[in-house]
Amino acid sequence: DYSKLDKIIIGVCGGDGIGPMITGMGQHVLETLLADKVKAGKVEFRVIDGLTIERRAELGCAIPPDTMEELKACHVILKGPTTTPRKGDPWPNVESANVAMRKALDLFANVRPVKVPELGIDWTFYRENTEGGYAVGSQGVQVGDDLFIDFTVATSQGCERIARLAFDYAHKTGKNRVSCVTKANIIKTTDGKFLDTCQKVAAEYPDVVFDDWYIDIMTAKLIDDKRRRDFKVFVLPNLYGDIITDEAAEIQGGVGTAGSANIGKRYAMFEAIHGSAPRMVQEGRAQYADPSSVLRASVMLLEHIGEIELAKKLDRALDICMFEKKKYVITGRDTGATAQQFTDYVLETIASL
Amino acid sequence: DYSKLDKIIIGVCGGDGIGPMITGMGQHVLETLLADKVKAGKVEFRVIDGLTIERRAELGCAIPPDTMEELKACHVILKGPTTTPRKGDPWPNVESANVAMRKALDLFANVRPVKVPELGIDWTFYRENTEGGYAVGSQGVQVGDDLFIDFTVATSQGCERIARLAFDYAHKTGKNRVSCVTKANIIKTTDGKFLDTCQKVAAEYPDVVFDDWYIDIMTAKLIDDKRRRDFKVFVLPNLYGDIITDEAAEIQGGVGTAGSANIGKRYAMFEAIHGSAPRMVQEGRAQYADPSSVLRASVMLLEHIGEIELAKKLDRALDICMFEKKKYVITGRDTGATAQQFTDYVLETIASL
Ligand SMILES: CC(C)[C@H](C(=O)O)[C@@H](O)C(=O)O
Ligand SMILES: CC(C)[C@H](C(=O)O)[C@@H](O)C(=O)O
């Protein structure tokens, strides 16, 4: 409960590529909305700039130890996308900083809302965030020259805590439906456990309708306009959550429009769901990056620290500004707003609410 | 090479639920198109009806031994969807007959075309069909009460043969682009091997453009109308192929519209990509099941046995009939054609070509 703290420390960790710029936009909006509290010493922003790919590559680690200390000294974190090296990149193969942070801070729930008011879509994805194929991602085994094995992991506790969070949310918000998405017909042991656990937890929430789906058919359902409005809350193992939230975000207007909350018992981290877009930077188009992902993440950050009214305001302003933006694109009037212009427009809109 | 055979034996295996009915439609169309060859004793159809869920449950196996014998006596198989028991079903937990057949007949490539001529979409998915999470699907381990582990498997040979098939196809058809889809940033050992192998094979096909993507962002790209036309041929590990082809099929008009070829060195099996739709049967709507999935599979069967002209005719007729069907739905004039009516319309259309 953040209201009991003397001061809430918000870490701002820019990341790579377009990250520092769009994260800066998020910080600017949050500082504007929280100005009184900052002045009164109730909220402090701390910029954490040690999490760059250059530094991680040089030190050969996913998160440098000093940066980890800084992160752990915060209560909540606003984080930009970080680059994960891939073949052909100039960096050695260091682990994903995202994934490392989720594990190190035990951020077990990745909550990703997707809303398309015009289409009646209002989805919230509860993605398990530390297990599945991500648990021991870099510790697969090679047997001789020709056999390769990776591991997928689930624990009772891991399944239970994400299921409970999803049902609590559905119950609390009156959304009243939780859909579990697995591939339990094939990945029987881990997905089977995940599904079983959701079924068990469902029994404790008689007011919430529960159903379960396979991930393959769910990717079809999300783009079926006759049925998709009926879905409300999803609960899914890590990898399926990863996959399907990009699809869902595209329906909302692109992965650049979706924010995500990584929630644990002690820490919480808020980020864009997309990558660091190095190509935009190379091509000199970084200033046109869409900051709405980070601004949506900022809504969730505000909610999380108990600033419900401010969260609602920012959310409402984003609904308006993103709808306007889509209209511009559709009618061909999109003049290509920069991140700064879009952010200014969001702040103006808030002021006019 | 089927032209060297005295007689081609086509097994027709109806499966469960709507399976026998829609597979019957496929058989009817094939028998009509191949009538001369059947009369001349060059083609024989054999109905294989032992693969029902009731029988599999009773015998406690994925594919009854006598049915397996019958299947192995055929050259190619047209197969309806089979039911995989899930929790709450009246049957004991027998393995998926699909997956068992793919493994037993070593059908290592699952080829799934998706076409939407109006949108300029012409995709072909080469899904690896025997490895990944499917290889040892039911042999995960439970450690104590709380730890659950599943295995994902890749072999050098498994990766290489699917990659080669995809590149051969792209080269032969002049489609000239192969996109590999993995999650090699996380599932490093197996997906890493898959991606490496595709890169290696790509080097042998200088006329084919190669690129690679992560599965999460690819589910977004498929519904991004600005970019998706550019994709031609996809090559993917088993699970990602499973997931993304349902999404792709939905764009084409639903999973009920997509056929699939399961290809091995010795055998080939052609099937709908969807399930047995028990609910349609319970609700008495089975006659309205869309047979176009099986008819698309029949196109691939004809191609496979070297009946290129007949394959083209059926394909063309399906393009026309499915486009008409979509128009009816869109303009509200859909009178709900039955499978039989749609099939008749397809045959009439072929006759008029
Ligand atoms: C960058 C990548 C490791 C990450 C993930 O797979 O979780 C991203 O796709 C996400 O969804 O946050
Ligand atoms: C029924 C199921 C086992 C199967 C699969 O997962 O491969 C199906 O979804 C498919 O795509 O053919």
Residuewise pLDDT in 10s, chain B (353 residues): 888 899 999 999 999 999 999 999 999 999 999 999 999 999 999 999 999 999 999 999 999 999 999 999 999 999 999 998 877 788 888 888 999 999 999 999 999 999 998 899 999 999 999 999 999 877 899 999 999 999 999 999 999 999 999 999 999 999 999 999 999 999 999 999 999 999 999 999 999 999 999 999 999 999 999 889 999 999 999 999 999 999 999 999 888 889 999 999 999 999 998 889 988 999 999 998 989 999 999 999 999 999 999 999 999 999 898 877 665 554 444 557 889 999 999 999 999 98
Pocket of ligand 1 (CB under 6 A): A 84, 96, 98-99, 242, 273, 275; B 185-186, 216
Q: Closest residue (by CA) to atom 5 of ligand 1?
A: A242
The percent helix, strand, coil of chain A (3-state, each to 5) is 50, 20, 30
Ligand in closest contact with the CA of A186: 2
Report the run of H or E that residue B344 belongs to, with start and end.
helix B339-352
Atom of ligand 2 nearest to the CA of B81: 1
Chain A from 50 to 69: CB within 8 A of any B CB: none
For residue B151, CA distances in Å to A143, B177, B182, B187 come to 14, 31, 16, 11
| pLDDT of res. B11 | 98
Quick check: A184 contacting B, CB < 8 Å? yes
Q: Where are the beta strands (DSSP E) in B67-176?
A: 76-79, 109-116, 121-128, 141-143, 147-155
- Is residue A336's pLDDT more than 80? no
In tens, the pLDDT along A204-236 reads 999 999 999 999 999 999 999 988 999 999 999
Q: Please indicate whether the domains covering A1-107+264-353 and A116-256 agree at the CATH topology level.
A: yes
DSSP code of residue B177: E
Quick check: A148 contacting B, CB < 8 Å? yes
Alpha carbon of A182: minimum distance to chain B alpha carbons (Å) = 11
Residue A99: its chain B contacts at CB < 8 A?
186
Mutate to test the interface with B, among A84, A102, A151, A199 (most CBs of B within 10 A): A151
Mean pLDDT of chain A: 93
Mutate to test the interface with A, among B143, B219, B252 (most CBs of A within 10 A): B219
- Among A181, A183, A186, A217, say which to mutate for ligand 2: greatest number of ligand atoms within 8 Å of CB: A186
A192 is written with which tokens? 């089977």
Measured in angstroms, how far is the CA atom of residue A346 from the centroid of ligand 2?
Answer: 45
Return all residues near A92 (Cβ < 8 A) that are at least 6 apart: A57, A60, A85
- Residue A50: CA count within 13 A, CB half-sphere: 14
| pLDDT of res. A330 | 43
- Domain A1-107+264-353 carries which CATH code? 3.40.718.10
Atom of ligand 2 nearest to the CA of B238: 7
Chain A from 126 to 145: CB within 8 A of any B CB: 133-134, 137-138, 140-142, 145
- Rounded to two decimals, what is the model's pTM? 0.94
CB contact at 8 A, B119 and B225: yes
Measured in angstroms, how far is the CA atom of residue A183 from the centroid of ligand 2?
Answer: 10
Domain at B117-255, CATH from 3.30.70.360, 3.40.50.1010, 3.40.718.10, 3.30.1490.20 = 3.40.718.10
Rounded to whole angstroms, the Cα distance separating A232 from A211 reads 11
CB-CB: which of B140, B184, B249 is closest to A190? B140
Chain A from 78 to 97: CB within 8 A of any B CB: 84, 86-87, 96
- Is residue A110's pLDDT more than 90? yes
Rounded to whole angstroms, the Cα distance separating B153 from B238 reads 10
What architecture is the A116-256 domain classified under in CATH? 3-Layer(aba) Sandwich (3.40)
Amino acid identity of A117? Answer: P
Quickly list DSSP for B227-251: TGGG--EEEE-HHHHHHHHHHHHHH
Measured in angstroms, how far is the CA atom of residue A220 from the centroid of ligand 1?
Answer: 21
For residue B294, CA distances in Å to A164, A305, B14, B318 come to 42, 54, 11, 11
Residue B58's SS3 state is helix
Rounded to whole angstroms, the Cα distance separating A93 from B196 reads 15
| pLDDT of res. A331 | 45
Measured in angstroms, how far is the CA atom of residue A19 from the centroid of ligand 1?
Answer: 14
Question: Per-domain residue ranges for chain B?
Answer: 1-107+264-353, 117-255
Confidence of residue A332 (pLDDT cuts 50, 70, 90): very low
Rounded to whole angstroms, the Cα distance separating B225 from B283 reads 36
Q: What percent of chain A has pLDDT over 90?
A: 81
Residue A224: its chain B contacts at CB < 8 A?
250, 254
Q: 């399930």: which residue's tokens? A: B275
CA A220 to chain centroid: 22
CA A353 to chain centroid: 27
Ligand in closest contact with the CA of A215: 2
Rounded to whole angstroms, the Cα distance separating A38 from A36 reads 5
Atom of ligand 1 nearest to the CA of A275: 1
- Is residue A328's pLDDT more than 60? no
Rounded to whole angstroms, the Cα distance separating A128 from B266 reads 42
Alpha carbon of A308: minimum distance to chain B alpha carbons (Å) = 31
Residue A221: its chain B contacts at CB < 8 A?
250
CB-CB: which of A187, A222, A223 is closest to B133? A187
Alpha carbon of A133: minimum distance to chain B alpha carbons (Å) = 6
In tens, the pLDDT along A275-297 reads 899 889 999 999 989 899 999 99
Chain A from 264 to 323: CB within 8 A of any B CB: 275
Burial (Cβ within 10 Å: 0-12, 13-18, ≥19) of residue B35: exposed
Rounded to whole angstroms, the Cα distance separating A48 from A10 reads 10
Pocket of ligand 2 (CB under 6 A): A 185-186, 216; B 84, 96, 98-99, 242, 273, 275
Alpha helices (runs of H) in chain A, residue ranges in sequence order = 19-33, 35-39, 53-59, 65-72, 97-104, 156-173, 188-202, 215-221, 238-252, 278-282, 292-304, 308-330, 339-352
Measured in angstroms, how far is the CA atom of residue B247 from the centroid of ligand 2?
Answer: 13
* β pairing state of A259-263 and A43-48: unpaired
- Is residue A73's pLDDT more than 80? yes
Max Cα separation, chain A? 66
Chain A from 94 to 123: CB within 8 A of any B CB: 96, 99
A160 is written with which tokens? 């239970």
